[in-house]
Structure 1
Amino acid sequence: MKHDNLEDRDVEGSARIDSRELIRRYEQTRDTVAEIAARHNREPGDVRIIAVSKYQPTAALRTLAGHGHLDFGENYIQEALRKQDELELPELRWHYLGRLQRNKAKFVPGNFTMFHALDDELLASSLQLRSKTHGGVLEVLLQVNFGQETQKGGVLPDQLPNLAEKVRRMDGLALRGLMALPPFSLELPEKQRLFSELRELRDKLQTHLGLPLPELSMGTTDDFPQAIAEGATMVRIGTRIFGERSR
């Protein structure tokens, strides 16, 4: 599906990449995730790597897809839709990770498998309307803001049950679990404590709703071992796979 009227164009789309180095980094990351999972009595398949591909050239995504990786995370609507048009690989699973303005909610259902950062009832209603129009169901995670950081999205923990109750009644959305991004400044033990709290919140919410919530999206390049130790089912890894971004 071609998407018109996209506002930005990623000039890196035709950039040259070192495919062998990219695959080496990916395999090393995949193996490390599997080793950490096993260390905590978990199966490697219990933890899915979301390759955070914002600002990365489509050639890099195509290389990883050819190596069997299917899950990619994007933070910007226009960039993600352009990549989808260029790649034309319907088997890929696209995850929208960033904050989402309501006027762009129409682009998510049908183009993304999962939205990781739902934190607002009005946004949920916009996604629901578009999902119903599109005729599908969008998987969503509720983002929790532990640090009360105004620059980040996320619902406060004490407001989580109320939002979850409203989202579960929207048949165009499938509530699948929770997501969190701890404050960057925290030391790793503190981040691990917050990951543990997110798991406990998820467990309580499951009981409250009487609804399975199997997914915990938590952990990035800097702290994914701590997230896996606390039950992460999805880790969002960019730099470790792709290397440092040029911007």
Structure 2
Amino acid sequence: MQYHTPNNLSELEINLKKIQHTISLVCKRVNRDPAQVRLLPVTKTLSIEQIQQANHLGFRCFGENKVLEAKSKYEALQHLNIDWILIGHLQSNKVKYVAKFIAEFHALDSYKLAEKLNHRLLLEQRQLPVFVQVNTSNEESKFGVQPEQALALIEQCQALTQLKVVGLMTLALHSQEPNEVRRCFQVLRELRDNIQKQYPEIQRLSMGMSGDFEIAIEEGATDIRVGQAIFGARNLPDSYYWSESK
């Protein structure tokens, strides 16, 4: 898929309006309110200037995959009203940074990590909305709990006062077959629906990226994580950004 890289603020605005128009069209097709879908620009590898441009166009929530990259941007842009959202895997030795400034965490995948994060949040006197990451594609290369393990993790997290589980997150199978991609999103939606019988407050579905967000919206996504379709193609493959160990 070809993504146009904007060279100025006007071209960035065009890209953003195209995405927003597509969101509206997809929502109309499946009888959803576009206001139910949050477009989360993913700013990994982008410059401070590019983030400032997107913020100038009205965006205040930005997704980052790597904690230290997010930290440097947070420190450089503290004068702006920005919420930094961590959407990538979190190593336990970087929990202290997340507790200080991250506004949402979309990739909680173990109780051990949840405990450490809760402890640091207590020290910072902060609460944090989190999404449990679910491996709906059953790929060993992806982080996340298995679908059948999600409810148990959510139940364990109820005792952690500083964490609030608000939804589920997944990365779909990287496939040219739309039905295979769609199935990943269906698994997450059906899992959320079942979990809501016990925990009705868990409503959000963080799923869908530049190449598959339309399918994700059709299947109920509330938060879509879009980078390249807004800011242009990256030099490194997505797999680099979805592992803190690389």
Q: TM-score, normalised by structure 1?
A: 0.89
| Residue 179 of structure 1, CA deviation | 0.4
Please show how residues 152-171 of structure 1 align to structure 2 within 5 Å: 152-171=142-161
Aligned to 2:233: 244
Given the superposition, is the C-alpha separation of residues 243 and 154 from structure 1 closer, same or farther in structure 2, using an over 3 Å criterion? same
Please show how residues 141-220 of structure 1 align to structure 2 within 5 Å: 141-185=131-175, 187-207=177-197, 209-220=198-209
Amino acid at match of 1:223: D
Counterpart secondary structure, 1:110: helix
CA distance in 1, matches of 2:186, 2:138: 17
Aligned to 2:215: 226
Please show how residues 82-161 of structure 1 align to structure 2 within 5 Å: 82-161=72-151
| Residue 84 of structure 1, CA deviation | 1.2
CA distance in 2, matches of 1:60, 1:110: 24
Deviations 1:46-101 (A, max 9, x none): 00011111001111110111110112100111111111111224521211011110
Counterpart secondary structure, 2:101: coil
CA distance in 1, matches of 2:45, 2:7: 13
Q: Is the Cα–Cα contact under 8 Å of residues 56 and 245 in structure 1 kept in the other structure?
A: no
Given the superposition, is the C-alpha separation of residues 23 and 245 from structure 1 closer, same or farther in structure 2, using an over 3 Å criterion? same
Deviations 1:152-189 (A, max 9, x none): 11000111111110112211000001001012135111
Aligned to 2:241: none
Q: Percent identity?
A: 37
Given the superposition, is the C-alpha separation of residues 241 and 162 from structure 1 closer, same or farther in structure 2, using an over 3 Å criterion? same
Amino acid at match of 1:230: E
Q: Is the Cα–Cα contact under 8 Å of residues 196 and 203 in structure 2 kept in the other structure?
A: no
Deviations 1:20-46 (A, max 9, x none): 211111111112112211222111110
Where do 5+ consecutive residues of structure 1 fail to align? 1-15
CA distance in 1, matches of 2:212, 2:145: 22
Aligned to 1:54: 44
Q: Is the Cα–Cα contact under 8 Å of residues 22 and 60 in structure 1 kept in the other structure?
A: no
Aligned to 1:13: none
Q: TM-score, normalised by structure 2?
A: 0.90
**Aligned-residue RMSD, C-alpha:** 1.5
Relative contact order, higher structure (CA 8 A, sep 6+): 2
CA distance in 1, matches of 2:135, 2:176: 14
CA distance in 1, matches of 2:79, 2:54: 12
Given the superposition, is the C-alpha separation of residues 180 and 21 from structure 1 closer, same or farther in structure 2, using an over 3 Å criterion? same
CA distance in 1, matches of 2:121, 2:233: 35
Q: Is the Cα–Cα contact under 8 Å of residues 17 and 59 in structure 1 kept in the other structure?
A: no
Where do 5+ consecutive residues of structure 2 fail to align? 1-5, 237-246
Counterpart secondary structure, 1:108: helix
Amino acid at match of 1:65: N
Q: Is the Cα–Cα contact under 8 Å of residues 219 and 236 in structure 1 kept in the other structure?
A: yes
CA distance in 2, matches of 1:36, 1:244: 23
| Residue 150 of structure 1, CA deviation | 2.1
CA distance in 2, matches of 1:109, 1:34: 35
